[in-house]
Structure 1
Amino acid sequence: IIASASTLLGLSILVLVVFLVYNKQKCLFPGRWRSKNAPRIQSLLRSQIKSYTYSEVRKMTKSFADTLGKGGYGTVYKGILSDGSEIAVKMLEASDGDGFVNEVASIGRTSHINVVTLLGFCLNGSKGALIYEYMPNGSLDKYAVGVSDNTMQGENSLSWEKLYGILVGIAQGLDYLHRWCNHRVVHLDIKSQNILLDQDFHPKISDFGLAKLCKPKESKISIGGARGTIGYMAPEVFWVRRGAVTTKSDVFSYGMLVLQMVGVRENMKADTTDTGSKYFPEWLYDVSSQEAACNATGTSTSEVARKLVIIGLWCIQSTPEDWPCMSEVIDMFDTSVSDLQLPPRVSCCGNDNQS
């Protein structure tokens, strides 16, 4: 009797434990997150990244009172940690579990002055949150305005020196992600909206929701479909038949970003409110020749604009084989503009058969 009772009690306890664990997992990883991403998220929870409860996140953000912005991967709110540090909290819906995992896996252990710092995260029911350092000067697209635009001058215009430093910093951040991480990171969504600026206008690459990781010895990666933003997206990412996706896919996007910032800085008939397919191809067709690309005034301005355009055009050549890697882009920044060769003329988006 005693043996039977002990066995029954043991089985009952085991069933109870299994039931409690199952329900805890069901609560923590609802729906798609539970079935697809739970193992990866569980592994990340054991990493060095600090986790917070949902109630702590609500307290940090004063019940999400101050909205900083809203994008395709969540709404960002301003918050304050217990030590008084300002933070940015991105709230993600359950349907974006992949983006959550990508961000934590991509930058959870990175450390570079030009990559945004992930301070912590929260997973609670259907709510997911990523907690970043706060960038007081917002994103780079806020400054994508021409200096002669009468309605957008002053604090929203960047000097050539400041713009040059920002673009160099972005190149250095991408070089770090591509070469120096334990797992190389391909961002796949480099654009002005995803470049944040700190109090000293140092750029920080952010928003790794579409990023892909690859091992140091891997040169190519596979993706399940087009990733990125039209106008910045490399041809091989948009059209799979164009070639394999590599770290150079970020190089193309970086080149488009450089050309965009130079174009709006000089008001080269660029509509800064339209970053779609009609804006970039039309503009790039105009600036891909030496005469249009270097149409800046003043000696120093002309040299800065010319160097940036040459670098940008090299990054969007017809084939990835012709694109420099980010370390080569950095070398170009260290080269005198007189020693930089203007690349061959290309039509819109690196396609010689289109205009």
Structure 2
Amino acid sequence: MKIAMLGLQGAGKKTLFKLTTGTSVTSVPPKGVPGMFEVKDPRVDALSALYHPERTIYARIDVVLLPDVEKTQGKAAWLEDVRNVDGICCVARAFEDPSVFHPAGSVDPKRDLDLFFSELLFADILLMERRKDALASEMRAKSTPEKVRELQAVEKVSAELEAGKPYRTIPLTPPEKAVLSNTQFLTAKAVAGVVNLTQDRDTAALKAAVEAEFGSRMTLSFFDAKLEAEIAAISDAAERKEFLSGLGIEEPAVAKLTRAVYDALGLMSFYTAGEDEARAWTIRKGSTAPQAARAIHTDLERGFIRAEVMKYDDLIALGSEAKVKEAGKAALKGKDYIVEDGDILNIRAST
């Protein structure tokens, strides 16, 4: 899985990129800066504490930091790069600092998030206009029922996009979806919005306003980049924990952010655990047990027989696999089982 991270100049993208990937960036080339971040998952930590494995591995997501968003009415070069990712993380500035330039001249995260969505909408509208023109030319040469159906679907989607509705919210029939299945709509992508604010002021009203306007369109997270950088700079774990406790914070906001992005992409984790490794594996929500087996190795999917399933909460509460089995809480599941977030799996497969 891969996401694009973007936002206006001065929003805090580079700081967020460093906090999540560990990579410092001074300038961003047109094609962006690649990186990878771990999804900070306390369940992985708990399994590691229980099994004391040789390795502890978190779920991972590839990320590319793209150049600054500008108002171009859907014609920016970075929009083409966004087509090649699975999701988008947009950073909006909500902190006041006269020393940090804002291209719009004032701080307004709602306006900035709206600009971001407008660029995606404009790009999709232009895409549909080009397709309508191409279909009209093709139909002048030879009209077919298939082209007529596609044109009707394109015109329907165009009208909804122009009304400000992202593609993923447009109600389409299965045949309409089928004729548009090869079209890469930017507004079909999962979106995570990150609002960069300061903790030294009351932000309740700001958060409520942003959530009211954008909560239905994206997964939202709020973080203080300056504070998060200070937390990350504390190398001693005990000292960092004490610092967080003094602020009344359980964990850094950036850890919650990585999980929010993960959720926005429609992903979830299942786990394998033992003496050698405690690991989170990434699958799409709604995946079957054989599909989960494929995440580990394609051979396990081909030879899948069944999966032994334990629930994370049961294992942590009872303290061992043996006690989970004694309590009758371990189950054998077949090919039709839909894996749930937090399942601990032991795949049985033929070799």
Q: TM-score, normalised by structure 2?
A: 0.24
Higher RCO (C-alpha under 8 Å, 6+ residues apart): 2
Q: Which has the higher strand share?
A: 2
Q: TM-score, normalised by structure 1?
A: 0.24
